[in-house]
Each structure stands twice: as structure tokens, then as C-alpha cells.
Chains A and B, each alone.
Chain A
Amino acid sequence: MLIKGPVFRFGDHVNTDEIIAARYLNRSDMKELADFLMEDIRPGFGRRPDLPGAVLAAGWNFGCGSSREHAPQVIRSAGIAAVVARSFARIFLRNAVNIGLPVIQLPDCDGIGEGDRLEIDVESGRLINVTQEREYSCAPYPGFMREIMRYGGWLAYARSLQSGQGN
């Protein structure tokens, strides 16, 4: 999977209340909720027309806090192609993988700036910052998570394991 897109840059410890505030979660239509992506820290962000194909880049511990899967689901519904961060909170990471949203852990991502154009090869872990002419190599997913991503999400993989087709 090759992803090419511009960066929207966020800081450290972006929590799931910031990604999608709980006051909106009396409903679960992700397309509707996508309008409120990052609303409390960047008002109007979820209603920008240029989100499809873009990449979120952040610092430490992206997605900490609540387990709400709405967070990665809303990021995907907004059309964001991938999230790159220095580190991810545990539950956010598993939720993103479980729904097939590419998340890339890049310890050296401080230099990535707002508006930079990235090219990411998710399988090989190669990331190019086209704007800054820099290339990074990220650690590939562990085998089990790679399989989940290959099936497009946990439920498809779980089903294949159950019917004995998985390897």
C-alpha cells in the first residue's frame, strides 16, 4: 500500500477526547462524527475539504485515554490515509490495526512539519518526506499485526483463523 499526501501536524499526548470528544458520542455514525475530528484542539478541522488522502503526524503517545474506537474510525471516515507518530497509546494502536487504518511508528518524526508531502510504503516501512528530501525507515509491524492488516482488519482475519484458512 503506497500512501502519498500532505501532513497535518499535531503534538504530544493527543488523547481520544481531543480526537473525538465524548459529547458527540450519543451517536455512532462515523461519517457524521467525522465533522468533529479534533474539534476541541483545532476547531473546524473535521470540516476541512482537504482531509481526504492526508496524513496526520504527531509526537509521543498519540491516542491516549479512552478506548473509544470512534477515534480511529472517525480519522478514517474523514478520509485521512495514515497516522505517523513517535509513539502510539496501546488501545488506539490495536483499534487502528483492527480496522485496517495504517499507523506508522517513527521515533524520528520530529522534523516532519505541517504541509510536508509524504510518501509511505506501509508494507516495507519506508517513508519519504518529499518536501524535505528525507527518507526514513520504520520498524515493520510484528507478524501477527501484519496479518490483520493484510486481511483489512481483525474480524476478517479472525474469521479465517476460525475456519482454519489462516496461516
Chain B
Amino acid sequence: MIGPQTMARKILARKAGRSSVATGEFILVDVDVALANDITAPVAIDEFRKAGGERVNRPEAVVLVADHFAPNKDIQSAEQVQKIRNFAREQGISRYFDVGRMGIEHVLLPEAGLVNPGDLVVGADSHTCTHGALGAFACGVGSTDIAGVFMTGKAWLRVPETIRVRLEGSLQGEVSGKDLILHLISRLGVDGANYQALEFTGPGVEALSMEGRLTVSNMAVESGAKTGLFPVDARTLDFLEPLAIDSEPLAGDDGAGYAREWMIDLDRLTAQVAYPHLPSNCRDVDAAERDRIPVDQVVIGSCTNGRIEDLRAAARILRGRRVHPSLRCIIIPGSQAVSLQAIREGLTEIFIEAGCAVSTPTCGPCLGGFMGILAAGERCLATTNRNFIGRMGHPKSEVYLASPATAAATALAGTICGPNHI
């Protein structure tokens, strides 16, 4: 008799080839998707070779994406991308995504149908937890872990405790998944869920769009969490149907021994802004407005908020208006598909007419790579995921985090501004 189980335990037991696994236990799991990018894959390749690796065990399980510094920003990044491109060719890794076909990895994989519910996904990128939105056990790991998957097809994991977050009601107006996860991080703290899984449940889940869920799961790691799991429900199945992915509902069980249970009332949630230098440092957007914070740059994009729904939210606010003359607004669609969709819907035209720069997909400025680096003393409001010291450029620059709607409103106002005040 196994009894009620968390979603994490259900998936991990299956991937360990067992009927059940216990919380806290260390297990070896079969990996369905092993993901690495142009920063972390070169290190994985080096470690694989140093350990005497020659042939990748299951090339079909490997996904390599050149997204962080691509299109190559300089000679050194060109050499790193060349290294993973050559490795993919040599090893017969067909899921290598280069410029023109790539997207930001966590935008690309779900839309390309590379992640199935119930999958075990490890990625040498901390935001791999994004794929928990599809009901996959997906967690960030390191390059050596990916080298280990190259060698054996497996990874080691500790079965995590789970914090269950019950969502009631539904998001109102321009309040989005980003505001929800910022609010949760500010309540949990940046290490409040360290080593644990988050599992979302309750009637509010149903009303949350797939894009919204991906945003929420994406930033689970900013509370220290290993993954952020959504149940596989009718909305997940609808999202997967055009991708020819067949799946079954999956959810955690009531009474499964959750470490903690929280409740968030979506009806009452307001737009949030995270001040420097921690994502947990949140204030209500009305309070941020009262602080009259001038902004030099707005960035709308990233693995957190580079999906079509995010661009639609920004376009609703920017349509027919001009960005404030004192700032630059950079919009980065998360993938080629998102880019094309934005053009087809006329969003790109709205952005350019408003005075925004529209980029090809890349992680770019989010991690201080390129395409919008800040000088000393400059301030950016971004839809990205981290506002650490020096994250987007000079150590004396500042990043504020918010939703696409708040970012678009700020771009018009010139100071931090909520979507309801435009």
C-alpha cells in the first residue's frame, strides 16, 4: 500500500523504475531530456571528455540550444557555439538548435513539443524548472550532471519534500503569472523552498493560461525550489494536442505529507515590482509608483516572459502610443515561432511604431550578456527573472522585475508605473 503521493514522488518513482520512492532518498533516474546551452554545454563536453567519454549514451535525449550569447556576440562566444555545434554533429544529436531555428531554451522546448508530462528533465540551466508547468519533473543541474547523462543516460536526485500552493479565484485585469510568482517568492523568501518542490493546486490553476503557468514555474528556482509542478489538466492537454502529444491527467494527492501548504487568492492579487537586489524584495506596483523611480531602459522578453501572451499584454498598452523619450525599450520575442506570431498579429508593428527596438530571440541582456547592457548608475525595469548586483551590466546599475504589462506602462511613463494608470 503506497498511499497518497506528491506529484514529484509519482514521477520520480516511475523514472527510478520503482513502485514508490521515499522523501529524502537519493535515487538514480532515467533522463528523458538533458538540456544545455552555449554557456553550460562547453563545460559538459569538457568534463565528458576528461572522464574518457567518447560516445553519448542516448543522443536522442539530448537538447542543445545556443541562446545565451547567440547570435554570437564576439569571437569567444562564436567559439563556444562552434564547440557545441561540432559536438552535436559528431554525436548525432539532432536536437541542436542554432540561430534561425533556436529560441530561448525554456520558450523553445514546450512549443516544439520536446517535453511531455511526466518526463524527467534535467538542464544545465537553473530555469529548467519552467517545464514543471507541463507536469514534467524538471530541475536545474550542473554541467557535470549533463556529462553524466552523456555517459550513462541517468542522473542522481534526492527526492524532495513538496510545498503545496493552493490557488483560489482568478487573476484580474492585467495581473499576470509574473505577479503571482513574484508575490509567492516575496512570501517564501529566496531560499524558502530550498531543496523542495513547489506543487500548484486548487481552482485557480484551471484559470491560469499555459503561458502564465510557464512563467510561474520558471521562477520557482528564485525561491530555491527544485521544480515548480502544475497538474496535467484539460488545459495542458489542449496545449499539447496540436503538438501530437498524448497524455493523461496527473496530479498530487491530498494528504500526501506536504511539508507546507499555502493559499493565494488570485482575485486579490495586485501587480508586483521586485526592487534590487533580490527577487523577493517585492512591493505593490502602487507603492512603487509613489516612489517615482525614473527608468533608463525597459526589457520585455526572457525565458520568464518572452511568450506570445506576454507580447500581447505589452502591445495592448503600447498600441498607438510612444515610449517615453528618456528611455529605451527593448523587446525580445522568446523564439522564432513567437517572433513570427508577433509579426502576423501586428504586434511587432505596434512595438516599432511606439519606438521600441525588437530583437531576434536571445537571453542577451537578462544575464548581462549583450543587447542592452547597463552603464554605472543606470536603471532597468525588466520582465526577466533576476535583479542581482551587476546582473544586467555594471555592478552599480539596477534591475527591477515586473510583468510585461507593468514594463510596457513604465516604458510609456518613464518612471515605474502600473498597467492601470496609463
Contacts and interface: CB of A to CB of B under 8 A. Distances in A.
Contact of A87 (B48, B194, B367): B194
A155 B46 CA distance: 12
Contacts, number: 143
Given A60-B191, A67-B124, A28 B141 contact: no
Interface of A: 13, 15, 17-18, 21-23, 25-28, 40-41, 60-61, 64-70, 73, 87, 89-91, 94-95, 98-99, 142-145, 148, 153-156, 158-159, 161-162
Contacts of A70: 39, 43
A13 B279 CA distance: 12
23 contacts: A17-B386, A18-B388, A23-B369, A23-B393, A28-B42, A28-B80, A40-B390, A61-B224, A64-B190, A64-B224, A65-B388, A67-B124, A67-B125, A69-B124, A70-B43, A98-B148, A99-B144, A143-B26, A144-B158, A154-B144, A154-B145, A155-B48, A159-B151
Interface of B: 26, 28, 39-40, 42-43, 46-48, 50-51, 68-69, 73-74, 76-77, 80, 123-126, 128, 140-145, 147-148, 151-152, 154, 156, 158, 190-191, 194-195, 221, 224, 226, 278, 367-369, 373, 386, 388-391, 393, 395
A59 to B, nearest CB: 11
Nearest to B153: A162
A158 B389 contact: no
Contacts of A15: 386, 388
B43 A69 contact: yes
A76 to B, nearest CB: 12
A66 B126 contact: yes
Contact of A98 (B74, B80, B142, B224): B142
A17 B145 contact: no
A5 B200 CA distance: 45
A60 B191 CA distance: 8
